[in-house]
Structure 1
């Protein structure tokens, strides 16, 4: 996803721009997303050879005692800041399409691509939480991915046209639009999407380079990979399929499991996680229906992502299973990124190399 010479299973850091990352825990060591800690984490990941740094886009919190994720850094300026202190890791921006005009996005994205010397990436999301959109006075389109397609088309056209672009779409109507400089990457920076429903997956299959999906178990995860690849084939394309996991890596299995239960069962923000799950269930198709009923702890621990809990070898084996069912990589979260990522990089990444999953 970043260095073309880095083969095999890709590894990324997910949601470090937001307080508590993906967890809904009240443990005192929970991630605060203070800038100096974020910057240090990005440099740890960069030096360790991890492939990408992926933020979430969040505008308000989820209530409860922590109001989790209300503290979060805006992702274009976030990526620009990290670009100047890292060397090789891909830096993604996550954008809610309805909240940002495509010409502004084109200019901001190209700016980060130049600052980073071609390491910018774009995570295109349409949004799902109406409480956030009410803040902006914006109503979601009935066909949000139709808007997303126009939005991305405008970016690509303005980057690759030698003259001003007229655009007459259902959503956007532009006259003599330009965006200079264009991105260094051609025809545009690498793109991803995390759609779960069929319309969103078709959008990603037709327009994006990678699609992220969550899953409850490996067999279901394999079905997701098959579905996404089939959709891409309809458009004569192939896309990378990635997933998401939350990590508790400790020297012993018992230590890892004890801490996992402590932070995600004994010390959770009940009101916040219940509100989040209800909003997700009502307005987002990001998980299988069964996930909301069966896996509350996974939502408390890592927003419904897959748990990677155990020794370095156990986690390396689990990631190998991801690769076996067809995933090209995983975006990972931690209770505290700065404290926990060094151990993961030191102990797990070499095991993945030994297994032939990374070069």
Structure 2
């Protein structure tokens, strides 16, 4: 059993792999080497990250693709079973599950999450998402509820009570009315595995400040990142809590700056799946508050390159400098995506991680 969860370790900047469970990862591109998300490749990427000392694997929860030539992300592994398998083939890295609260019952989630926590010997984590895509929710016969973060609060309270109550309990809430609830085994982590939430809107951020250990957020420029940190710290302090902020970046790391920029233009401009990018941006713009409003118009390449996340494009030295700048804005970690994780992750680990160690951010 690990002594503490990897996200609570000593490195000043935590790094992890994002969206490897889904076709394309975060990239919406037609290049031949695009990520196919086959199981063997997921296992290989997880083991590379584990050996390199990265802190976490974070999957994306998707049920429907974005159309276009690639129908990006429709092929995706369900995150609880994926996490259980990743936990079984790794030793140190944290393994997260991502759930949509309205389509998963908290009692089932409590049992599944505890199972992964035992398989991983205390490395499990939960990314709590309330959802934004009405087409996906329609597949389950569920509508997006304006009070879905109220539902998320009840959902998480039930999960915690599943682990901490010694006797069966009833629950009478707005969204859940349950009788004689019991769930064993409890999680190894007490009172529950660590949680994160990705929210940009007011209701979502209030939920994260009140209930979660970590918040994922985006920014259009690094120097704008500090305002998210100070805002969330103030929200958490209202509840006598602390919260760590993480962000997301898509990586193109090459020997020269020109080589990196050329490849970024090739996969995220010239060979982007433009129809799928249009569908993704349209849905996000209408239903999600995950990005600044002007980001959709100013940074189309970023949505093809990495779902609107920040681009870390350049030499190992340039990328290390950018990560250091992000840390100085107050961020505790970054979830990283690549066009092809197994092809590109080894070079990133071999060349960027030593620079971060030299800068005192990682041991």
Instruction: Report the TM-score when normalising by structure 2.
Output: 0.98
The answer to whether residue 76 in structure 2 is matched with residue 78 in structure 1 is: no
Partners of 2:73 and 2:187 lie apart in 1 by 30
Identify if the C-alpha distance between structure 1 residues 57 and 3 changes in structure 2 by more than 3 Å, giving closer, same or farther. closer
Offset at residue 158 of structure 1 (A): 1.3
Partner residue, 1:91: 95
**Over aligned residue pairs, what C-alpha RMSD do you find?**
0.8
The one of 103, 127, 130 aligned to 1:126: 130
Deviates most, 45-54 or 224-233: 224-233
Counterpart residue number, 2:254: 250
Aligned counterpart, 1:295: 299
Does 2:169 align with 1:165? Answer: yes
CA contact (8 A) 1:246 1:333 kept: yes
Per-residue CA deviation, residues 272-303 of structure 1 (Å, 9 max, x unaligned), is 00010000000000000010110000001000
User: CA, structure 1 residues 227+140, in 2 after alignment: closer, same or farther (shift >3 Å)?
Assistant: same
Contact 1:3 1:88 (C-alpha < 8 Å) held by counterparts:
no
1:135 aligns with 2:131: no
Shift of 1:6: 3.3
2:335 counterpart of 1:317: no
**Is this contact kept in 2: 1:18–1:72, CA < 8 A?**
yes
| Counterpart selection for 1:351 from 346, 350, 355 | 355
Q: Tell me if 1:38 matches 2:42.
A: yes
Superposition deviation, residue 3 in structure 1:
6.0
In the TM superposition, what is the alpha-carbon distance from 1:87 to its structure 2 partner? 0.1
Secondary structure at the residue paired with 1:254?
Answer: helix
Q: Provide the secondary structure at the position in 1 that maps to 2:251.
A: strand
Q: Which residue does 1:24 correspond to in 2?
A: 28
Give the unaligned 5+ runs of structure 1. Answer: none
Count of matched residue pairs? 359
> 1:101, 1:157 → 2: CA distance?
14
Name the stretch that deviates more: 338-347 or 139-148: 139-148
Equivalent residue, structure 2, for 1:195: 199
Match for residue 59 of structure 2?
55
User: How far has the Cα of 1:62 moved from its partner?
Assistant: 0.3
Q: Give, in angstroms, the shift of residue 7 of structure 1.
A: 2.3
1:270 alignment partner, one of 249, 268, 274: 274
1:280 aligned partner: 284
Q: Are the equivalent residues in 2 in contact too, given 1:95–1:124 (CA < 8 A)?
A: yes
2:103–2:142: 8 Å Cα contact kept in structure 1?
A: yes
CA distance in 2, matches of 1:213, 1:77: 26
CA distance in 1, matches of 2:98, 2:285: 21
Give the C-alpha shift of residue 218 in structure 1.
1.7
5+ long unaligned stretches in structure 2? none
Is the CA contact (8 Å cut-off) linking 2:7 and 2:56 kept in structure 1? Answer: no
Q: Assess if the C-alpha contact under 8 Å between 2:7 and 2:14 holds in 1.
A: no
Which residue of 1 is the match for residue 337 of structure 2?
333
Instruction: List, as ranges, runs of 4+ consecutive aligned residues in structure 1 with deviation greater than 2 Å.
Output: 3-7
- The 1:196/1:40 distance shift into structure 2, 3 A limit, reads same
SS of the equivalent of 2:210 reads helix
Query: Secondary structure of 1:23's partner?
Result: coil
* 8 Å Cα contact 1:79/1:91 also seen in 2: yes
Q: CA deviation at 1:2?
A: 1.0
Partner of 2:222: 218
Listed one character per residue, the Cα deviations across residues 231-261 of structure 1 (whole Å, up to 9, x for unaligned) are 1111111111000000000011110000000
SS of the aligned residue for 2:113 comes to helix
| Contact 2:199 2:290 survives alignment (8 Å) | yes
Q: Does the 8 Å contact 1:150/1:171 carry over to 2?
A: yes
1:68 CA drift (Å): 0.4
> Which whole-Å deviations, capped at 9, do the CAs of 1:85-137 have from their partners, x for residues lacking one?
00000000000000100000000000000000000000000010000011111
* Cα deviation digits, residues 184-219 of structure 1 (max 9, x gap): 000000000001101100100000000000110123
Distance between the aligned counterparts of 1:356 and 1:224, measured in 2? 24
Give distance in 2, aligned partners of 1:254 and 1:142. 46
Partner of 2:112: 108
Tell me the equivalent position of 2:155: 151
Structure 1 residue 5: Cα displacement: 4.1
CA distance in 2, matches of 1:243, 1:127: 18
